[in-house]
Amino acid sequence: MSNDLSHGRFLVIDNLPASSRQQAYSLLKQGQFYIEPLSTKDDGKTIPVPGGLIHHWVGVAFIPGATFSQTLAVLQDYDHHKITYRPAVRDSKLLAHRGNDFKVYLQFYRKSLVTVVVNGNFDIQYTLIGTMRAMSKSYSTRIAEVEDAGKPNEHELPVGNDHGYVWRLYSYWRIEQNDGGVYIQVESIGLSRTIPWEIAWLVNPLVRSVPRSVLSGFLEDTRRAVEGKAERRSPVPLENRHTS
């Protein structure tokens, strides 16, 4: 990530060859998303993760007519993430805030072959780059799987002693106002338990598709929320104003 920034590559699509990069930007402006899996290697070799799986994905979207401040306001409104990102986020709360540093509680919900609910605490730090760019990094400090969610006996399983659907979750957002709108990028890196070989044939397709759909959902929800904020702040045309 630092290497990309030092070479002026703010968004992941800036790494693409010129023709592919132009096409990607064109598709973004048409309302489509750019989503791809990523892989980090050590000296060209796969990094072993005994007993675990790394899920590394990135997604980019464009919000026409949006501003930098509107987008930042949506992302930092953590008390309302349970509304902005529902049903993926069932609950959210800002725990502490000082300057560009936030401590946040989020409860995530996902239903596929099984229903997964996890409580997470996150430390989030924003970095402003000039007046039209910003980055944030979100690190999970506690992840606990919830058993019997929504029932009277709802409770957390012991941290680290659960089904292993999510053990760690890091997220990196990038925001850039340009081309008459705002580009948003979210990069997600998660750690889960290795899939048993007996059911790998069934679960592997979900492992590849679920992160894509989750990122797509977060990008779409963010775009919708920013567009809604822009509409609410737009001045009412003079001829439509009512006077008493």
Asked whether the beta carbons of 217 and 75 are under 8 A apart, the reply is: no
Q: Has residue 207 got a pLDDT over 90?
A: no
Nearest to 214 by CA among 66, 91, 121, 87: 87
Q: Has residue 201 got a pLDDT over 50?
A: no
Q: What is the dihedral of CA 173, 231, 29, 131, to 10 degrees?
A: -50
Q: Which residue has the higher pLDDT, 53 or 204?
A: 53
Report CA 203 to chain centroid distance, whole Å: 22
**Amino acid 224: pLDDT:** 96
Q: Where are the domains of the chain?
A: 30-40+48-233
pLDDT grade for 148, boundaries at 50, 70 and 90: confident
68-75 helix and 200-233 helix, angle to the nearest 10 degrees: 130
**pLDDT tens by residue, 25-40:** 999 999 999 999 998 8
Q: SS3 for 76?
A: coil
Q: Which residue has the higher pLDDT, 193 or 224?
A: 224
Tell me the two tokens of residue 78. 């953590």
**Amino acid 116: pLDDT:** 87
Q: Has residue 6 got a pLDDT over 90?
A: no
| pTM, entire model | 0.88
Q: Has residue 236 got a pLDDT over 80?
A: no
Beta bridge partners of 98: 101
Tell the CATH topology of 30-40+48-233.
Alpha-D-Glucose-1,6-Bisphosphate; Chain A, domain 4 (3.30.530)
Asked whether the beta carbons of 24 and 34 are under 8 A apart, the reply is: yes
**Amino acid 209: pLDDT:** 59
Q: Has residue 156 got a pLDDT over 50?
A: yes
Nearest to 192 by CA among 175, 219, 172, 210: 210
* Alpha helix stretches (DSSP H) within 156-241: 200-233
